[in-house]
Amino acid sequence: MAKLHISTKINGEPTEFLCDPNDSMLDVLRGPLALTGSKEGCGSGDCGACSVMLDGRLVCSCLMLAAEAEGHEIETIEGMAEGEKLHPLQQKFLEMAALQCGICTPGVLVASKALLEKNQNPTETEVRYWLAGNLCRCTGYDKIVRAVLDTAAEMREATR
Amino acid sequence: MNEISNKWIGTNTIRPDGADKVTGRAAYAADTSMPGMIWGRVLRSPHPHARIKSIDTSKAEALQGVKAVVTSKDIVEFPVDKPVALGIQDMRWMSRNVMAREKALFHGHPVAAVAAMSEAIAAEACKLIEVDYEVLPWAIEIEDALKPDAPILHDFVQFEGKPSNIAGTLEHKLGDIEAGFAKADVVIERSFTTRPVHQGYIETHACLVSVLSDGKTTIWSSSQGQFMVRAMTSLLTGIPQSSIRAIPAEIGGGFGGKTIVYLEPLATMLSKKSGRPVKMVMSREEVMRATGPTSGSTSTVKIGATKDGTIVAAQGVFYLQAGCFPGSPIRGAAGCAFAPYNIANVVSRGFDVVSNRSKVAAYRAPGAPIGAYAVECVLDEVAEALKIDPLDLRIKNAAREGTKAAHGPVYPRIGLLETMESARKHPHYKAPLGKFQGRGVASGYWFNAGGESSAQVNITEDGNVVVTTGHPDIGGSRAAIANIAAELLGIDYRRVSVLIGDTATVGYSNLTGGSRVLFASAIVVTDSAEQVIGQLKARAAKIWGISADAVVWENGEARPSGDHTGNFPTMTLAEIAAKATETGGPIGAGVQLNTTGAEGGFSTHICDVEVDVDLGIVRVLRYTSFQDVGRAIHPAYVEGQIQGGAVQGIGWALNEEYIYNKKGHVDNPGFLDYRMPVCSDMPMLDAVMIEIPNPKHPQGVRGVGEVPLVPVMAAVANAVHSALGKRYYSLPMSPPKVLEGLDEGTLQAAE
C-alpha cells in the first residue's frame, strides 16, 4: 500500500508526514510525530482522551483520518503552553488537583480550552455538557468542573 | 504522633508530577518506544469454553514480517494440583490466564501471541494461526454455574466431595445466630443481585519489553506494582528476578485492575524469541473482554432487631463470580459487610463461583461494596419497619473502640460514629425534597493494608532532597510524600523531588492497592528522613566540634542547644550538604519495612436522587460523603479519592453492567454501551473529611482510597426507594429496569 504524503500545520509549525490511507490522525500523532500527549482510551470516539483542535474545532483524533489533515491546522496538548508558561487552565488544574492519574487530562484540557474560546462565561451546566465527551474515571469530575469555572472567571478578570 | 509545625502536612501543594501531566509529557506505558521495536498482538479464543486440541502456528510464522509466535508451550506451566501463591494470586491460574493451556475458558482468552514488524502484520498473522477447538457447553451466570448439570470448568475443583464450580468458601462467625434471631422483634431477609462492572481505567494495558541475548530483561509497563510485574513475569517465563528490571510507567488508572499481569509475560517471550524489543497495547475491546472486571453477585441478608433498634443478629450469604479461575473477593464481601456495626451474633458466608467469564481482578475495596449494598439496604428496611430514622438506627448500632468485629479484629479508636453523627447534623440531611425525589444513607468499611514498603531519602549536593519510593502513584501519593518529607526536614516542599523507583533502584515494595500506599510509604519515608536528620545533626556537630546530642534540627537548620546555645551560627541544609564530602560523605538513608498498624476505614454517605418516571432515568441531585480519613496529608487528593469513589459507585448502581449475548460473548465491550458516568451526569460532590488520627501511624494516616466506593450503591438504592416507595433488589437500576418496575399504584403513591 503506497504511503500518502501529507502537508499540514501542527501547533503552529508546518509539518509533513507519510501515512497509510487507513491511519488515524491519532496513530500519526503518537507514532511518527512522537506527540504522545494525545492518548488512545477507546479508539472509537467515546472517551475524548485523544481530543485535538482541527482548524479551531474540537475533534477526536482517533476518528479522523491522518490524510484529512492535508492543508489544515491541528493543535494538540503539546501546543497548549507558551514555552515555559502554562496556559491558565493547565495552571489551575495543578492548583485545584483537577487530575489524579492524568491520562484523561490532555484531552480534558484541550476540550476545556475549546470551550473557553467559544464561551468565556460558561455555567456549570454548560461546562458539564461540553465535557460530557471526556471520560475521567478518577476524579468524579467535581474538581475538573471547578477548575474550568475558576479559570474562566480569572481569564475574564484578566481581560477586563 | 508527629507534633511539629505542620507547615506542609494538610496543605494542597502542587504535585511533583503535575507539570508533566498537564503538558502531555508524562510517559504512560504506551508512550515509550525503543530502537528496533516491533509489535505484539494476541490471538483470542472465539469460544467461551473449548478444549484446545492443537495449535498450528506454521503459516503465521511464515508470513513476511513475523518475528515470533508464542503459545502456552512458551509459558511456564504450574500443575493444577499444587498451589503456587504469590500474594493473593495463584500462579497456577495466572499461567493459564495469560495464555490458555488445556482449555479456553472465556471468549477472549488468549491462545497465542505474535510479534511482527507492524501491528497490521501481527493482526494478519493471528488470522493464520489454526486452532483446533472442541467447543464445550458453557455457563456465564452464577445460577447457571451452580445448576446440578452445569458444565464444570475445572475437574479438579471439588465442593462437598463432587466436581463443582464452587471453588472456595469462607465463613465468619460471632456469637449464637439462632439465639440472636430468637430475641428479635423484627426480622428482615432479602436477596440481591449485582452485575460485574469494570474498573474502567482510561489507559488500556500496555507494555514494552526488551530481552537481550544475555537474558537481561527490561519491562516498561503500566501496573499497580513493578515488583508484582517482575515476580509474575519471572515465574511465568523462568527468567530470574535479578535479570528483570521492571520500570513503572505513569499509570493511567487502575482501581485494582492492574494488580496482575496480562501482557508482560507474552511480550517477554516474544522479545526473547525474536531478539527485538516488543510493544503490546490492548484495545479497549480487549480490555473489556479479557481483563477485570469485578464480580457479579447474588446475596441474601437477614437482619433481626429489637423494638428499640438494637440489632441482635445478622446473617449474610454472598455468592461472587470469580470468572474462569478461583479467586473472587469473598473476603471483602463477607468480611466487610457487617463490620460497621456492633452485632453480638453474626454469620457471614462467601462462596467463590467460577464460570466462563474473564478472571475477575481487584476493584476498589474488592467485594466490600457488594456486601455493603445488601446489608445497608436491609438495614433501611429494618429502620422503616421500626419507624426509626435510618441514621439513628446506624448510630445506635455503630461499631466503636472495643467492638469485636465478626471478621476478627477488636477495633481501636475509630471514627465511624463521627461520620454518622456528622451526616445526621449536616444541612444535606435536612434539605427539602420534591416530587419523585428521595434521600438514602449508607455506611461502609474497608480493611486497609500495610505491608512491604521501601524508601530512600537522599540529600543532593546543593542541599535539596530526592525521595524514592516503590509504589506506583495512582492518585497523588507523590504530592503527599513531598508534604511529609518537607515537614520533617523543615524545608519548602518544592525542594523535595519524589520519584517512583524501578525494581533495580528501590527496595521491594508491595502493590499499590488495599489503600496502603500513603500509610506504608509515609512510615518508611518518616524513618528515612529521621535518619537523615540524625546525620545532618551529626555533621553540624562535627563542624562545630560538639556532641551530636547538643544539636537540634529546626526549620531546616541545625542549631546548637543546651550549653552550646548561641555559640555557633545555625547551619542550613544547603550549608551542611556543601560540606558533606569533608564531614563523612554523602548524606542519605533508606528504610525497608513490613509496615503494620493500618487500621480500617469507615464512611457514611448521603445521596439524593430524582427519578424521571417517564424515562426511568435516576439522576443524582446531591451527594455527600463523610469519611474518617485519619489525617489528610494532602486534603485535595483525599477529597479527590472520595469524590471519584462516589462516582464509580453511582455508575455501578445506575448504569454499568456486562451484558452477555447468547453465544457467551460480552455484547457491550466499549465505552459507548458500557456506560460509565460522564460529566453531565453528575452534580458537585461534597466530601466531609473527619480526622481521627490512626494511633499506630507517625502522621495518623489511614488508607482513604477504597472505602469511598463501599457505601455508594446502597446509598443510591435507598434514595431510589425513598423517592418511589419501591425497592429494586438488583443493580444496575438502569432506565429499562426502573421503568419496568413502575406501575400506576407505585406512581400514585410516590406522588
DSSP B648-659: HHHHHHHT----
Q: What's the pLDDT tens digit per position in A40-56?
A: 999 999 999 999 999 99
DSSP conformational letter for B72: G
> Tell me: the pLDDT tens digits for B659-687?
999 999 999 999 999 999 999 999 999 99
Put simply, the answer to whether B30 touches A49 (Cβ < 8 Å) is no
- Report ipTM (2 d.p.): 0.98
B22, B474, B645: residue with CB nearest A93: B22
Instruction: Give the type of residue at B545.
Output: G
A136:B474 CB<8 A: no
Q: Which chain A residue has the Cα nearest residue B198?
A: A137
- CA-closest candidate to residue A35, choices A27, A43, A45: A27
Q: For residue A43, give the nearest of B250, B254, B284 by CB distance.
A: B284
* Chain B: residue whose CA lies nearest to A107: B24
**Cell 490466564 found at:** B97
B252: chain A residues, CB-CB within 8 Å: 39, 41, 101-104
Q: For the stretch B146-157, what's the b/e string if a residue is b when 16 or more beta carbons lie within 10 angstroms of its beta carbon?
A: beeebbbbbeeb
Chain A residues whose beta carbon lies within 8 Å of the beta carbon of residue B250: 101-103
Q: Domain spans of chain A?
A: 4-79, 88-159
Closest partner CB to B251 (pick from A80, A90, A101) = A101
* pLDDT tier for residue B691 given thresholds of 50, 70 and 90: very high
Residue B2 has pLDDT above 60, yes or no: no
Question: Residue B3 pLDDT > 60, yes or no?
Answer: no
- Per-residue confidence band for B5, with pLDDT thresholds at 50, 70 and 90: low
Q: Which residues of B touch A90 (CB under 8 A)?
A: 22-23
pLDDT at B747 over 90: no
* CA closest to B281 among chain A residues: A40
User: For residues B284 and B282, what is the distance between their CA atoms, to the nearest angstrom?
Assistant: 6
Residue B218's pLDDT band, with cuts at 50, 70 and 90, is very high
Strand bridging mode B186-194 / B297-305: antiparallel
- Select the CATH number that applies to the domain covering A4-79 from these four: 3.10.20.30, 3.30.360.10, 3.40.50.20, 3.10.129.10: 3.10.20.30
Looking at CA atoms only, how far is residue B50 from chain A in angstroms? 29
Task: Tell me which chain A residues have a C-beta less than 8 angstroms from the C-beta of B656.
Answer: none
Could you tell me what percent of chain A has a pLDDT over 70? 99
* A-B Cβ pairs (cutoff 8 Å, strict): 180
pLDDT for position B1: 37
Q: Report the C-alpha gap between B466 and B637 in whole angstroms.
A: 21
Average pLDDT, chain B: 97
Chain A CB contacts of B23 under 8 Å are 37, 77-78, 80-81, 86, 90
pLDDT, one tens digit per residue, over B443-483 is 999 999 999 999 999 999 999 999 999 999 998 999 999 99
Please report the domains of chain B, with CATH numbers, ordered by start residue: 18-25+450-595 (3.30.365.10), 32-136+203-252+258-290 (3.90.1170.50), 387-447+599-750 (3.30.365.10)
Sequential DSSP letters for B402-421: TPBPTTSPBP-S--HHHHHH
Summarised one tens digit per residue, pLDDT across range B543-558 is: 999 999 999 999 999 9
- Are A101 and B25 inside 8 Å of each other by CB? no
pLDDT of residue A94: 98
- Mean pLDDT score, B34-48: 98
Best to test chain B binding among A92, A138, A145 (most B CBs inside 10 Å): A138
Contact criterion met (CB < 8 Å) for A140 and B646 = yes
> What is the CATH code of the structural domain delimited by A88-159?
1.10.150.120
* pLDDT score for B136: 98
Task: Give backbone dihedrals phi and psi of A24, rounded to 5 degrees, phi first.
Answer: -85, 160
Shortest Cα distance, chain B CAs vs residue A13, angstroms: 18
Instruction: Give the pLDDT of residue A1.
Output: 66
The per-residue pLDDT for B242 is 98
Confidence class of residue B749 from pLDDT cuts 50, 70 and 90? confident
Contacts of B24 in chain A (CB under 8 A): 35-38, 76-78, 80, 106
Q: Which of A38, A100, A106 sits opposite B475 (nearest CB)?
A: A100
